[in-house]
Amino acid sequence: MPRPLDGISSIKVKLSILIVAAVAMTASTSQIGVWLGWPVWVRPIVSGAAALLMVQFLARGMTKPLRRMADATTAMARGDYSRRIDSNGRDEVAQLARSFNAMAAELAETDRLRKEFVANASHELRTPVAALRSTLENLVDGVGRPDQDTLARMLARAEHLSTLVGQLLDLSRLDSETDLGETHPVDLGDLVHDVADELTLVDPRCRITVRAPFDLKVDGQTDRLRQVFVNIIGNAVRFSRPGEPVLVTVTQNNGSAGVAVRDTGPGIPAQERHKVFERFWQAGGMARTGSGGAGLGLAISKQIVDQHGGTIDVRENKPCGACFVVTLPRRQRAPSSTEGDTSPPIH
């Protein structure tokens, strides 16, 4: 139900109206008392009561949102984020109620994501632990034999677990950091060449072609940026068609440096691209059936790139495959003759 002062957008004006109305009511009731010949002691009682009634009527609902907020905050402390406050008015209390509702919705979403994350992480950890445990139980009971094959499978599961725990620690570290901390000049061309060499060393069959200009630097942390490129180039190698090269192109613009990683794999359907940087997301639940990681690599990469003030994006690679593009702000330095050159020498 609309309240008398709902249309006023300032609490100060509302209070002023209340005071003026109370004074006017007291004075007019008192005057009426004089005309009607009320005894002297009756007049202040009647006019005080009339003023109080008037204030009660006008101030109806002015403090209700504050009481509701107090109740909702107590409920939030118990983990109930579902309470919302009516915020129909236009004054500062109504604005506070709207901000409170927005904050409650954000906290509810954060709480949902936290629960989902814990559930996913537990699931991902439980699967290899259960497999390791059952293999070990078989070995202890004498049902299985500790042959090369069994030990290699156990080692693979232990490695998977260790990668997963490392990624979970990375995420928790990144979540708790508010800024990047100390940065150094990082040569992007050198970095992607190193990553390509490292991946080729691990799997000599993979083919990675790098095109990068000399001396294109960004400010950042080498290890973290390496982690980004190991993941996106590693993914591209993993999803590319056998024998087809992965193309890594480093380009520069006046204010930014870009790294595009193109492969010829299945790509990521347009309707799923917005989910690709979510934690534990995998196209068609791929890793749950055994291949690759747990779907944390791109979430970690995005957080690192965000921390560096850059962007990471996925597009379609024509005619087929995926194209991941990382853009980072270029290192700030005094203008030189080569600054602004957008077609640098390639090495």
Ligand X SMILES: Nc1ncnc2c1ncn2[C@@H]1O[C@H](COP(=O)(O)OP(=O)(O)O)[C@@H](O)[C@H]1O
Phi–psi pair at 257, nearest 5 degrees: -120, 140
- According to DSSP, the residues that pair with 259 across neighbouring strands are 250, 326
Q: Taking CB under 6 A as the rule, does residue 230 contact ligand X?
A: no
Identify what 295 binds: ligand X, Mg ion, none; CB under 5 to 8 Å per kind: ligand X
3-state secondary structure of 314: strand
Nearer to ligand X, 200 or 227 (CB): 227
Which residue in the set 266, 309, 329, 344 belongs to the binding site for ligand X (CB under 6 A)?
A: 266
# residues near ligand X by CB under 6 A: 23
- Least distance from Mg ion to the Cβ atom of residue 164, Å: 12
Which residue in the set 135, 235, 264, 327 belongs to the binding site for Mg ion (CB under 5 A)?
A: 235
Nearer to Mg ion, 72 or 276 (CB): 276
Where does 142-251 have alpha helices with state H? 148-176, 188-202, 222-239
Question: 216-247 burial by CB neighbour count: b if 16+ within 10 A, else e?
Answer: bbbbbbeebbbbbbbbbbbbbbbbbeeeebbb
Site for ligand X in 267-326 (CB under 6 A): 267-268, 276, 281-283, 286-287, 292-298, 322
Phi–psi pair at 324, nearest 5 degrees: -95, 130
Q: Taking CB under 5 A as the rule, does residue 267 contact Mg ion?
A: no
Nearer to ligand X, 199 or 322 (CB): 322
- Least distance from ligand X to the Cβ atom of residue 17, Å: 59
Nearest residue to ligand X, using CB? 293
Which residue in the set 25, 94, 210, 236 belongs to the binding site for ligand X (CB under 6 A)?
A: 236
- Least distance from Mg ion to the Cβ atom of residue 287, Å: 9
Q: How far does the chain reach from its first CA to its final CA, in angstroms?
A: 73
CA 193 – CA 216 distance, rounded (Å): 13
Q: Taking CB under 5 A as the rule, does residue 297 contact Mg ion?
A: yes
For the chain, the farthest-separated pair of C-alpha atoms sits apart, in whole angstroms, at 113
Is the CA virtual torsion 287, 292, 297, 298 positive or negative?
Answer: negative
Binding residues for ligand X, per CB under 6 A? 231, 235-236, 239, 263, 265-268, 276, 281-283, 286-287, 292-298, 322
